[in-house]
């Protein structure tokens, strides 16, 4: 019984091992290489597969996805004998699992070595500057050579990238100095151009400002000269009108020696004005004028006792309304009539024997008029007195 049980257990184990050797599951994007007695038999696709146990064997399980392999930095000599370190990255995919298995022993190592040799061949024909600025050309050259060489291995190179190109430290320092000098040069050029443009704009602004200032000064001087000319003209006209008015007043007033003596007396305090006037001289005409003021018999030399100027009034125009001027003329006529009556009474009292006759010429000429009375004779332009206001002779 025990022996039969052991045999049963062994048979069950044998069946389990046989089933495990017969049934194989291949993951997605994988391919299994089946060999029979060490010779390639078939390629198992993804999924459930059955093989002959103990006869067929899955030798390799190939990954069909795109793979990325980064290679360590490789020293490469450029055309100008400079050693640079270049890092590369290869993107490839297995298209034929059988070729990738039996055509080459290790396709990753083969791709690495091929990339290194191809990179040295391409970079060896370039100088450092061209190597640093021609990455796209290096990538295209590497991809073309690798794709052609790895085609028989069942591998397709999709992309080749250069991660970095590192020149020697001394070359790095020199390049930094050169770049710094170039940038300093460009900065100096830009600064000089900026200063030049600033100076040009400043000069143009100063020029425009000077032109505008000169035009403003010219117009200001022209306007100021015109204003001075008009002011001088107006001032001269005012002085002329003032002189004419004074001259008119003098002729209307008919000044005599009494008026001039009074004017001398008014000027005497002005002569003594000022703190520095310690000594001042009185003109001799003033003493004579004072003598004439006290006595009307003597005449001062140069000052007539009676003025003989023209009695014609210069018409200066009317500054009052007509109604006011008429009332003033009426009052003046009444005043003249009263003065004439007083003169007639005085003449009658002085000559009682002659009665009330016409006053003698001496009485009439005592006011400076040779033939008429300046108080009674009407001035030109005055309205004649009314008939009822004539004095009774």
Closest CA to 267 of 282, 251, 254: 282
Cβ neighbours around 242 below 10 Å, total: 10
Asked if residue 366 has pLDDT above 70, the reply is no
Number of alpha carbons in the 13 Å side-chain half-sphere of residue 156: 9
Q: Write down the domain spans for the chain.
A: 16-62, 66-167, 318-393
Give pLDDT, residue 7: 81
At 328 the three-state DSSP class reads helix
Place of tokens 């030399």: 301
Asked if residue 157 has pLDDT above 60, the reply is yes
Place of tokens 């039996």: 102
Three-point CA angle 300, 304, 305, nearest 5°:
85
Question: What DSSP letter does each residue of 70-88 carry, written as one string?
Answer: EEEEEEEE-TTS-EEEEEE
**How large is the average pLDDT for residues 175-185?**
88
Give pLDDT, residue 10: 84
CA distances, 345 to each of 352, 358, 363, 391 (Å): 10, 10, 12, 11
Task: Band the pLDDT of 214: cuts 50, 70, 90.
Answer: very high
Asked whether the beta carbons of 260 and 289 are under 8 A apart, the reply is yes
Give pLDDT, residue 339: 67
Task: Band the pLDDT of 281: cuts 50, 70, 90.
Answer: low
Judged by average pLDDT, the poorest of 40-49, 157-166, 240-249 is 240-249
Q: What share of the chain is helix, strand, coil (3-state, %, to 5)?
A: 55, 15, 30
Asked if residue 380 has pLDDT above 90, the reply is no
Q: Phi and psi at residue 315, in whole multiples of 5°?
A: -75, 115
Largest Cα separation within the chain, whole Å, is 217
Asked if residue 312 has pLDDT above 50, the reply is no
The span from the CA of 156 to the CA of 150, in Å, is 7
Cβ neighbours around 278 below 10 Å, total: 6
Asked if residue 326 has pLDDT above 90, the reply is no
Give pLDDT, residue 71: 86
Task: Band the pLDDT of 377: cuts 50, 70, 90.
Answer: very low
Asked whether the beta carbons of 253 and 314 are under 8 A apart, the reply is no
Asked if residue 355 has pLDDT above 50, the reply is no
Number of alpha carbons in the 13 Å side-chain half-sphere of residue 80: 9
DSSP 8-state code for residue 94: E
Task: Write out pLDDT tens, residues 258-273.
Answer: 666 677 677 767 766 6
φ/ψ region of 203 (left if φ > 0, alpha if ψ in -120 to 50, else beta) reads: alpha
Task: Write out pLDDT tens, residues 62-120.
Answer: 999 999 998 888 888 888 888 899 888 999 999 999 999 888 888 888 888 888 888 88
What is the CATH number assigned to the segment(s) 66-167?
3.30.479.30
At 170 the three-state DSSP class reads helix
Q: Phi and psi at residue 60, in whole multiples of 5°?
A: -135, 150
CA 120 to chain centre: 62
């Amino acid at each position: 019984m025990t022996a039969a049980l052991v045999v049963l257990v062994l048979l069950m184990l044998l069946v389990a091992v046989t089933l495990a050797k017969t049934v194989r599951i291949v993951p997605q994007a994988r391919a299994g290489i089946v060999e029979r007695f060490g010779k390639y038999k078939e390629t198992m696709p993804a999924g459930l597969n059955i093989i002959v146990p103990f006869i067929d064997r899955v030798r390799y399980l190939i990954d069909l996805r795109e793979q990325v392999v980064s290679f360590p930095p490789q020293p490469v000599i450029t055309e100008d004998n400079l050693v640079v370190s270049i890092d590369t990255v290869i993107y490839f995919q297995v298209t034929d699992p059988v070729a990738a298995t039996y055509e080459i022993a290790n396709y990753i190592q083969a791709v690495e070595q091929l990339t290194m040799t191809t990179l040295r061949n391409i970079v060896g024909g370039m100088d450092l500057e061209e190597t640093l600025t021609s990455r796209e050309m290096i990538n295209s050259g590497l991809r073309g050579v690798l794709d052609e060489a790895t085609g028989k291995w069942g591998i397709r190179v999709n992309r080749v990238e250069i991660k970095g190109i590192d020149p020697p430290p001394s070359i790095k320092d020199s390049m930094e100095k050169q770049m710094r000098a170039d940038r300093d040069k460009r900065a100096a050029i830009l600064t000089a151009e900026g200063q030049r443009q600033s100076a040009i704009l400043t000069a143009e602004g100063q020029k425009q400002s000077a032109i505008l200032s000169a035009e403003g000064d010219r117009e200001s001087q022209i306007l100021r000269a015109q204003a001075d000319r008009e002011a001088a003209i107006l001032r001269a006209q005012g002085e002329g009108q003032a002189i004419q008015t004074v001259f008119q007043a003098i002729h209307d007033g008919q000044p005599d020696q009494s008026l001039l003596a009074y004017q001398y007396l008014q000027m005497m305090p002005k002569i003594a004005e000022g703190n520095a006037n310690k000594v001042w001289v009185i003109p001799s005409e003033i003493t004579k004028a004072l003598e004439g003021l006290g006595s009307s018999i003597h005449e001062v030399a140069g000052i007539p006792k009676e003025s003989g100027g023209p009695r014609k009034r210069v018409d200066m125009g009317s500054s009052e309304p007509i109604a006011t001027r008429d009332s003033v003329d009426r009052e003046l006529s009444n005043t003249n009539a009263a003065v004439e009556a007083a003169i007639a009474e005085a003449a009658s009292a002085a000559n009682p024997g002659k009665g009330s006759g016409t006053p003698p010429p001496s009485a009439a000429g005592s006011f400076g008029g040779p033939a008429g009375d300046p108080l009674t004779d009407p001035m030109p332009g005055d309205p004649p007195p009314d008939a009822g206001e004539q004095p009774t002779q």
